[in-house]
Structure formats: C-alpha cells, structure tokens
Amino acid sequence: MFEIQSKTGLLTYMFYSVNKKLIFCKVGATIDRIKKAADELDFNMLLDEHYLATEVDNGEFPVQDEPDITLMKPYECIYGPYERENEYHDLYHCPPDSNHPFRSVDRIKLILEVLQNDADWGAGLELFALKKNGSLLNYYPLREAKFIKALEKDWMPWHIYPWEQPIDDIRDYFGEKIGLYFEFLGHYTSWLLPLSIVGAITGLDIFIESLIFKDLSEALGTSFLVPACCVFVAFWAQFMLEFWKRKESTKAMEWGMSSFEDEESDRAEYYGDKIFSFINGESIKYFPPSQRTEISRTSGALITTMIMLVITCVAVIFYGKYYVDDDAAAASGSQGLAIGKIK
C-alpha cells in the first residue's frame, strides 16, 4: 500500500486485490482539506444554538421566544454557509467528541464533490462515465465500526417501536435521503396500527354475520361496519398523507434541506452540451429541445410499432383458432351425416 498526495489535496491509498486482478483505491482527506472544500462550496452547516443565543441576546435586537407558536427554540436548526477562518470556528455546531463540525456523512459528501468538481481545485472525474466504460467498477463509502455498533444498539432491538427509531442518528450516518426513507417507513407503519384494528373488528363482524346468515354475500350486505370501514379507510389515507407532509417538511427544516431542490445537481446519467445559463451565467448542461423531441418521436414510433405488432399477432392467433374450430365443426357434421346414411 502506498500513499499519494494528489493535486487536489486528497489522500489516496492504492493496493492490489488478492489475485492482483483489481486495484483498490481508498480516498481520504485531512480536516484542513475538508474545511477548504466546504469553504469553496459554501457548504451548508448547522450553527451552534448556544453561540447564537449568546451573541444575539447580547446584541441590540434579542429574539423573542413565543412557545405558543412553535415548540422549537428560536436558535435551533439554523444553517449557514461554512467559513474556515478561525473567528468563525465557534459558530458551527460540533458533534460530541469532535473538535470540528463535520460529521462522517459531511466528509463523504465533500470528498465526493472534490472528486467530481471540474473547478481548478477539483479532480473533475466523471465517475458515472468511468463506471460505464469499465475503468471503474464501483465506488462507495467505507463503514465506521463505532457508529455501526451505536446504531445496532439503538435501532436493531425487537422492542424498538417504529416511532422510536433513532432517525437523527440514521441521518448522520447514512445521509438525509436514507434517513427520510426510514422516517416514512416508521410513519407509515405507525399509521397502519389503527387501520389494522378497524380492519380486524370489521372482519370479526363479517365472520359472525356469515355464521348467522349461513351466506357470506348476505353477511357483507347486512353488516353496517363494512361501509363505515370504507369511509374510515378513505379518511385514513388522506390524513396519513397530510400528516406525513407536515413531518417531512419539519425534518427538511431540521436537517437544513428546505432548499435542497433549488441546489440539487444534475443526475450522473444526464448528458448535454455545457453552456452558460441564460439566468445566472453559471455553467450548466443543456440538452436541446429539438433533440429531445426527435428522441421522443423515435421512441413513440418504435413503441407504436411494437404495440401494433402485438395486436396483429393476437389477431392472427384468434383468427387461426376460429378457423381451426370452424373446420373441426364442419368435419364433425359431415361425419355424422355419413353415419346417418349408412344406418
């Protein structure tokens, strides 16, 4: 194994596989390089609420807390772009047992950004293109054993209910996307509990009615709980989605993801010509509408042709079946007539 200090400031460790057919490359970065990348990208970081409270309350315009309006404290969940100057060091929230504000998932995001960014401080690697042409088999973050053990202790036991999941810890290790996914699973599973109770009561009522009337269809028609259950399911579905929207928006605010869609980068699969944006002058990938229309027409024509081919094949099969059945019926009638003449 050997270490290379690349021009981007990243640390790379390269070594052969056991059969020496593959080369593994471990990429890392020092905290100073992480800070520099975060500063260059204006990376959104959580601000320390105690520092904010001290600085703001000592100023001319202290923030008035109205607990009747919101349960959140006035200095919670506030994010801002990272600045690496020493004077801003105390401004950012540091995780426990850490002397810097960067969580594991933050460091992974920043290293990946340095690898893919085409600025003069980035490597400019198109990782998806490298995977597509076979130069790169795959890339993924390495696990951290101490975080895995902590999650296993707080998340894996059977007595942990869906609404008791350590969502913030999941998000800190796996990222916001995975954290929001498990938050939805917990919300959906929790809301299934009242639905299952109502369904079990309705099913028991139908079972009793079927024993009385000796007919399931009549039991379904006379049970007054069936229409009530249908109405409940309709309201349940609507309320479940509305409460999820509220919870999703709350988590997006708590995690500093409210403007995520405004800052979201293009998919790796998206390709196009690099031009300067007509709106803000930034370099963007542009796919001409004329090419998109041409591809859509070609795809539409191909799909229509295949649909017509399937319809033709089905029609031929039905016609052949009808023709064979007709011939079989005619042959059966002729045989019966011949037998009648002999008799």
User: What pTM did the predictor assign?
Assistant: 0.70
Collect all residues with Cβ–Cβ distance below 8 Å to 194 and sequence separation of at least 6.
Answer: 236
Q: Quick: pLDDT tens for 55-104.
A: 776 666 666 666 776 777 788 888 989 998 888 888 999 887 788 899 88
Low-confidence winner among 103-117, 118-132, 273-287 (lowest mean pLDDT): 273-287
> Cα dihedral angle (202, 205, 209, 210), rounded to 10 degrees?
60
Helix (H, G, I), strand (E, B) or coil at 26: strand
Helix (H) or strand (E) holding 148: helix 145-155
DSSP conformational letter for 47: B
Tokens 């037998």: give the residue: 339
pLDDT in tens, 178-221: 999 999 999 999 999 999 999 999 888 888 777 777 777 777 76
Two structure tokens written together for 12: 């790379």
Q: How far apart are CA 253 and CA 78, in angstroms?
A: 9
Contacts (Cβ under 8 Å, ≥6 apart) of 173? 104, 105, 144, 147, 148, 151
CB atoms within 10 A of CB 339: 9
In degrees and rounded to multiples of 5, residue 74 shows phi and psi of -65, -20
Has residue 165 got a pLDDT over 80? yes
d(CA 42, CA 36): 10
Q: What are phi and psi of 80, to 5 degrees?
A: -160, 160
